[in-house]
Amino acid sequence: MARHRLAVAPLRRRLDIEAPYPASPVDLPAPDLPAVDAFVAAERPTEPLHCLRPRLIQATARRFLAAFPGEVMYAVKCNPEPRVLRALWAGGVRQFDCASPAEVALVRQMFGASAEIRYMHPVKARPAIRDAFRLHHVRDFALDSTEELAKIRDEARHERRPTRGGIGLHVRLALPKGDAFYDLSGKFGAPAELAASLLAEARPHAERLGLCFHVGSQTMEPAAYRNALDLAKTVIERSRVAVDVIDVGGGFPVAYPGLTPPPLEAYVAAIADGVAALGRPGIRLWAEPGRALVAPGVSVVVQVQLRRGDALYVNDGIYGSLSDAGAPGFKFPARLLRPDGASGTAKAFALFGPTCDSVDRMQGPFLLPDDVREGDYIEIGQLGAYGGALRTSFNGFDRAQLVEVGDRPLIATPGYPEE
Ligand SMILES: Cc1ncc(COP(=O)(O)O)c(C=O)c1O
């Protein structure tokens, strides 16, 4: 029996998570998941249908964990859907980069004490730090200012007893703007000089002292990590203190149409070189991937409501799961679902979303048979990262369904099926 339900944003609804997931090795339930085509033919969904591939997410996580020579925390913001988190857990993920009280509570509620949660947002409200520390046993926090260091020192402690396990303090280093698809250099991070003095200032208060950075999301150049690690080396030397952890953040890319990144192994090699050049044997290496773990694992089936020439009006858009297809201009793989088989030669279409805003437009191109018409279903792939997580309720279009399916991804994904 297909399991599906409303795909409301998991952080806004009361959780219906069953028992906390066991810490021992687990496999995913329901090996006989339905296929997208059969499910759509039977249900004829009139709302966007999120098709989650748990086994693919599990395999992708396994592959990343096997390839990366350090600790891998999943960046929960990328997709906090509990079924995604569960599939990652089944793939071996036990560490989580959280950035909000809701993410911290979700992960703790789902996995109990077996999950290691690190609060890697460099600017936090005092109650958020306090609750993370006292209620959810978070011990590692990021910062990029003296003021944030003071907040963490004030709030992340017990009144009368020392903290078991000690506190981890991780200084976020600002990087120059790179050529990642999503530049993340503009908001967080201490410039090198300040980062060095923050390391020195934090050292006496940290059981684990770390330096972290983010090269930008969907980084196509492995050298970006090597360059960042070279800057990290300078900062560590300037600080004149011992650093225990180097955290290379997220940014690991996935394939989109016309955009094939270098293999993960090239990124791992660049990182290994950069870490070796730090000259700090024994330093712990962490990463915070989001996109690379979950992007291939979710597709969204939309329905055509009107065709106007080369434009299709569909029931999901930039205020829904397709925001990256709007202004950021990501191209996504698409295929037409028709019970009697798709026909017609491939043609480039643009999509319009369901809201009344004229920016609710996705240029694509989405390559589909040239006879697409009203009522047709289109499956759009690679939407597991920053797709469902960015949905809004603008114009009342906040409803969607979610189903777990057994299909392959729309774009070949390394590690699946596992060799
Ligand atoms: C601090 C931090 N870590 C990790 C990530 C995940 O990045 P990605 O999805 O590019 O791997 C992000 C994304 O914004 C982030 O801000």
Return phi, psi of residue 309, to 5°.
65, -120
- Binding site membership of 249 for ligand 1 (Cβ less than 6 Å): yes
Nearest to 61 by CA among 22, 93, 21: 93
CA 250 to ligand 1: nearest atom:
11
In a domain, 410, yes or no: no
**Residue 1: predicted pLDDT:** 37
Range 62-66 average pLDDT? 97
- Binding site membership of 40 for ligand 1 (Cβ less than 6 Å): no
DSSP-based three-state secondary structure for 23: coil
Percent of the chain with pLDDT over 90: 81
Predicted confidence band at 304 (pLDDT cuts at 50, 70, 90)? very high
Q: Do 67 and 113 fall into the same domain?
A: yes
Among the candidates 266, 294, 322, a domain finishes at 294
Q: Do 288 and 322 fall into the same domain?
A: no
Q: Ligand 1: which of 97, 123, 185, 383 to mutate, judged by most atoms within 8 Å of the beta carbon? A: 97
Stronger pLDDT, 198 or 181, i.e. the higher one: 198
In a domain, 416, yes or no: no
In a domain, 145, yes or no: yes
CATH number, domain at 307?
2.40.37.10
Q: Do 94 and 238 fall into the same domain?
A: yes
Q: Do 334 and 207 fall into the same domain?
A: no
Check whether 339 has a pLDDT greater than 80.
Answer: no
Q: How far is the CA of 2 from the centre of ligand 1 (A)?
A: 32
**Residue 404: predicted pLDDT:** 95
Helix (H) or strand (E) holding 230: helix 223-239
End-to-end CA distance of the chain: 29
Q: Do 84 and 100 fall into the same domain?
A: yes
Q: Do 257 and 150 fall into the same domain?
A: yes
Stronger pLDDT, 249 or 339, i.e. the higher one: 249
Predicted confidence band at 180 (pLDDT cuts at 50, 70, 90)? low
List C-alpha distances in Å: 135 to 19, 39, 206: 19, 41, 20
pLDDT digit string (tens) for 346-401?
999 999 999 999 999 999 999 999 999 999 999 999 999 999 899 999 999 989 99
CATH number, domain at 281?
3.20.20.10
pTM of the model: 0.92
**Cα 42 from Cα 339, distance rounded (Å):** 10
Averaged pLDDT score across all residues of the chain: 90
Q: Do 397 and 325 fall into the same domain?
A: yes
Measuring from atom 4 of ligand 1, which residue has the nearest CA? 250
Q: What domain range is 200 assigned to?
A: 54-294
Q: Do 21 and 122 fall into the same domain?
A: no
Q: How far is the CA of 313 from the centre of ligand 1 (A)?
A: 32
**Residue 154: predicted pLDDT:** 94
In a domain, 393, yes or no: yes
Among the candidates 253, 276, 294, a domain finishes at 294
Q: How far is the CA of 252 from the centre of ligand 1 (A)?
A: 9
Q: Do 131 and 234 fall into the same domain?
A: yes
Among the candidates 244, 277, 294, a domain finishes at 294
- Binding site membership of 75 for ligand 1 (Cβ less than 6 Å): yes
Q: Do 119 and 208 fall into the same domain?
A: yes
- Binding site membership of 216 for ligand 1 (Cβ less than 6 Å): no
Q: Do 89 and 173 fall into the same domain?
A: yes
- Binding site membership of 286 for ligand 1 (Cβ less than 6 Å): no
Check whether 129 has a pLDDT greater than 60.
Answer: yes
Range 55-76 average pLDDT? 97
Name the domain count of the chain.
2
Q: Do 218 and 99 fall into the same domain?
A: yes
pLDDT digit string (tens) for 95-125?
999 999 999 999 999 999 999 999 999 999 9
Check whether 6 has a pLDDT greater than 80.
Answer: no
Helices (H), 203-259: 223-239
pLDDT digit string (tens) for 182-194?
776 678 999 999 9
